[in-house]
Amino acid sequence: MFAQKLTPPIPSEDIRQEAKKAFGFDLKNEQLDIVTKIEERQDCILIAGTGWGKTLIYFFPLILWPKTTILIVTPLKVLGDEQVEKLTSLGINSIHLKSEMFIPIQSLIEGRYKAIFVSPEILFASNALSTLWMDQCWKRRLLAAVVDEAHCIGTWGGKFRTDYEKLGYLRSFVDRGTCFVAVSATLPPQLLSNVKIVMRFKDPYVVKVESLITHGIDYQILHILDQ
């Protein structure tokens, strides 16, 4: 079974105009590239520093294709809550699934929530969510599965949070057309390799935004004595 198709394709210039209308600023070229790859259902890895605008690459598709859903795996409750608040301010109905709450499965199946934030632990342990994966309509609507702070796969996996090492199993739950996206501020070669293995990436589209480093600057630390 393949996920629902996004037809017709949206021209790049139209995507830029929609972003300007929604956010009030122009898309970076790398952001446009990732959004376009998500439209094409291609797996992606984005490595860019804090404050660069990584969340926009999975916020914006929900505006372009409002009948789709995106699942976001988040490591911390505070991050999930913060992003739900941001999406709500944009008029995008979102939910952060937590262990202490009732999970509204029927509302999820019906597509009332466009962005679904969840920890790896809830994702694999919740009996309610196991029901969700059996619903073909919901699976066809799932545009992408995003792992935010993807470096946690390597740094928090293993004995600390073992469910991070299971994220590749998600591929057996979703339709073949659902793409996977890993997002992180830092993925050195060893961690990047680990993410590719755990998430079962075969030929992902990788964007690495180099940090702005200024060379050739000399500085001195002066001790100023009170007179």
Mean per-residue pLDDT for 178-192? 95
pLDDT at 211 over 90: no
Residue 124 lies in a domain: yes
Could you give the 3-state DSSP secondary structure of residue 118? strand
- DSSP letter for 77, please: H
Residue 6 lies in a domain: no
Regarding predicted confidence, which is higher, 8 or 221?
Answer: 8
Tokens (6 digits) for 218: 């000399």
pLDDT at 146 over 90: yes
Model confidence band, residue 24 (pLDDT cutoffs 50, 70, 90):
confident
d(CA 119, CA 77): 8
Pick the most confident of 63-77, 123-137, 154-168. 63-77
Q: What pLDDT digit, counting tens, does each position of 36-66 carry? A: 999 999 999 999 999 999 999 999 999 999 9
Average pLDDT, the chain: 87
Cα angle at 109 between 122 and 40, to 5 degrees? 90
Percent of all residues in the chain with a pLDDT value above 90, rounded to a whole number: 67
d(CA 57, CA 128): 28
The strands making up 69-73's β-sheet, listed across from edge to edge, are: 94-97, 115-118, 69-73, 142-147, 179-184, 44-47, 205-208
Nearest to 84 by CA among 107, 67, 59, 103: 59
pLDDT at 169 over 50: yes
Handedness of CA 157, 113, 99, 169 (dihedral sign): negative
Residue 218 lies in a domain: no
Residue 173 sits in a domain of what CATH number?
3.40.50.300
Regarding predicted confidence, which is higher, 205 or 25?
Answer: 205
Nearest to 143 by CA among 74, 42, 19: 42
Half-sphere exposure of residue 32, counting CA atoms within 13 Å on the CB side? Answer: 16
Residue 94 lies in a domain: yes
Residue 223 lies in a domain: no
Residue 226 lies in a domain: no
Nearest to 31 by CA among 53, 50, 10, 51: 53
d(CA 81, CA 101): 13
- Number of structural domains (the chain) is 1
Model confidence band, residue 157 (pLDDT cutoffs 50, 70, 90):
low
- Going by their DSSP bridges, the two strands 94-97 and 142-147 should be labelled as unpaired
Q: What pLDDT digit, counting tens, does each position of 101-145 carry? A: 888 999 999 999 999 999 999 999 888 888 888 999 999 999 999
The answer to whether the bond into 8 is cis (omega within 30° of 0) is yes
Percent of all residues in the chain with a pLDDT value above 70, rounded to a whole number: 88
Q: Which domain holds residue 128?
A: 12-98+105-208
